[in-house]
Chains A and B, each alone.
Chain A
């Protein structure tokens, strides 16, 4: 096979190699332990850190600070590959990389040099703090405050559902610095260990067990003004543009998970017999499998298109990212759920690995903006035109 950079619907040889790298790393370092991590609710920090040697700590971060300087499309392929081993662990890479990317994109030189080398080498882990107990979908209504005092800001409030909280070292916190609404929000870099920063207990949840989800509690947390990310009042803009990439990544995690579920169901159907023949002989089941595979291909192709649009900074990119997030995470969940059905009662058992994928993929329809909010974004763009 030769390089196919020039054809529009094929990956380049480099991109194929990148996906394969993620698939092998996942297969060798993550998949053998994924069910155990899920059962034990264990956050595999060591394994995550070991991926730094492959360049997975700063996938879309510039190379002067240790990043891999790759495109959004490249990144999508990497999360897809990792998620085939464990969607939940792959999704934490997405959270961390979203934080690193935002600092690279919106940070000043001093901040980039201070935070990014260690984030890229995964010596430090990142967390993204937007949601609050009283504001999820309507994130612009957030109420965490940051008061300016001399050369510093004092933060007070509670952040809800924060992935990686407690284990992470660098928190991007969106907080209100002036008027209500999006323009009164600024972004701050808060380091673990800062006085007044604490965490709630680990939430008990349906899936995503290989990463902690906790409240981040800010009580008179004082950070130097040098930790303000981007100009005052641009925090919401920063949060939203980080989510454009985040949405692609989470969609890619659904794609990889669904891909693994299809593979598991296909292998199972070849071996399982009912009514004297293998399940693969029943046309009803063949058709179901055919539909699953088709949905997977459609989801993949469209996700690549949205990623390419974001790489090209196309004006339509945010809408395409919202569409991709909605479509791919819905398709991914349905495919995984269908795969579970194909395994019959065994699909419902933990040992077969499919119910875990279903549980992990379910939350992708909720976070990084719910799929209803994706429709709000899409519809708004249609009506505005």
Chain B
């Protein structure tokens, strides 16, 4: 079986980002592999540990820096990687065309992609790829079993949780709860550098962005810098609850 794990690079949620002219300045930001995509890599690794003859190909479509995300995917254990380099931002539908073409030329049986992008929140990629390939898809999967060319599992739907069964080839989108992604190992970080990483140009896919980003307005949340006087503990707790409710709006 051949698995395609689609990965993206996103700003590290643990770090600060700079906003320049209304946009997140990616050049100065620390970028990491999207956690959502880590679930896909991890699931592919687990399938390979259980079944023989599984090859895992990691695919990234994006800037040259996406190589870092692919190296992480390789360090985690993917067998090889493909980087489709694009200097301009691509919308999800354009990306789906590339993913579908790679899936076909590589003759993969199973595609993993994140249920949602950590940065722009789009959930469309998995569905768009499945549509292009006319493959079945299961989205927001939380557990998965593969038996020959049958896969079954559980996933979240609007009404709750549903169990599903479908046959390969298929597209699976992942989410938190599917597994607990491992850390790469130190020796594998070194070995990742020696694994095959194929670079392809956007032009080879006859795809161009159909949506042009014009501008964005980014909500910058300043901290309130409020300190509560804790001498009267019950009063301080009351004030804290008020602030969490009215200012931070994290509780109802």
Contact = CB atoms under 8 A, between A and B. Distances in A.
Interface of A: 1-3, 13-14, 17-18, 21, 24-25, 27, 53-56, 59, 63, 68-70, 74, 78, 271-273, 278
Contact of B71 (A17, A24, A273, A278): A17
Contact of B184 (A54, A59, A272, A273): A54
A53 B186 contact: no
Residue of B67, B71, B184 with most chain A CB atoms under a 10 A cut-off: B184
A278 B225 CA distance: 10
B19 interface: no
Given A3-B193, A13-B193, A14-B192, 18 more contacts: A1-B65, A14-B189, A17-B71, A17-B72, A18-B189, A21-B183, A53-B183, A53-B185, A54-B184, A55-B185, A56-B186, A70-B186, A70-B187, A70-B190, A78-B186, A271-B223, A272-B225, A273-B225
Contacts of B14: 27
A11 B61 CA distance: 26
A54 B183 contact: yes
- Which 8 pairs between the two chains have the least Cβ-Cβ distance? A55-B186, A68-B186, A55-B185, A17-B189, A271-B225, A68-B187, A54-B183, A54-B185
B23 interface: no
A82 B186 CA distance: 14
Interface of B: 14, 64-65, 67-68, 71-72, 75, 182-190, 192-193, 223, 225
A25 B183 CA distance: 8
A70 B187 CA distance: 8
B186 A1 contact: no
5 contacts: A13-B71, A18-B189, A54-B185, A271-B223, A278-B225
Given A17-B75, A273-B225, A69 B183 contact: no
A263 to B, nearest CB: 11
Nearest to B67: A2
A272 B225 CA distance: 7
Contact of A21 (B64, B65, B67, B189): B189
A93 to B, nearest CB: 12
Nearest to A69: B187
A56 B184 CA distance: 11
Nearest to A3: B193
Nearest to B16: A267
A47 to B, nearest CB: 13
Contacts of B65: 1
A42 to B, nearest CB: 23
Contacts of A272: 225
B187 A53 contact: no
B183 A24 contact: yes
Contacts of A2: 64, 67
Contact of B186 (A13, A18, A24, A278): A18
A68 B184 CA distance: 12
Nearest to A12: B193
Nearest to B183: A54
Nearest to B64: A2
A315 to B, nearest CB: 28
Contacts of B192: 14
Contacts of A3: 193
B190 A14 contact: yes
A2 B190 CA distance: 15
Given A14-B189, A17-B189, A53 B225 contact: no
A278 B67 CA distance: 40
A70 B190 CA distance: 9
B184 A21 contact: yes
A379 B68 CA distance: 45
B71 to A, nearest CB: 7
A256 to B, nearest CB: 16
A123 B71 CA distance: 29
Contacts of B67: 2
Residue of B67, B71, B189 with most chain A CB atoms under a 10 A cut-off: B189
B225 to A, nearest CB: 5
Nearest to A50: B183
Contacts of B183: 21, 24-25, 53-54
A54 B183 CA distance: 6
A25 B184 CA distance: 10
A18 B183 CA distance: 11
B187 A63 contact: yes
B185 to A, nearest CB: 4
B43 to A, nearest CB: 18
Contact of A55 (B64, B72, B187): B187
A335 B13 CA distance: 27
A24 B72 CA distance: 13
Contacts of A18: 186, 189
A70 B188 CA distance: 11
Nearest to A23: B14
A53 B189 contact: no
B187 A59 contact: no
Contacts of A278: 225
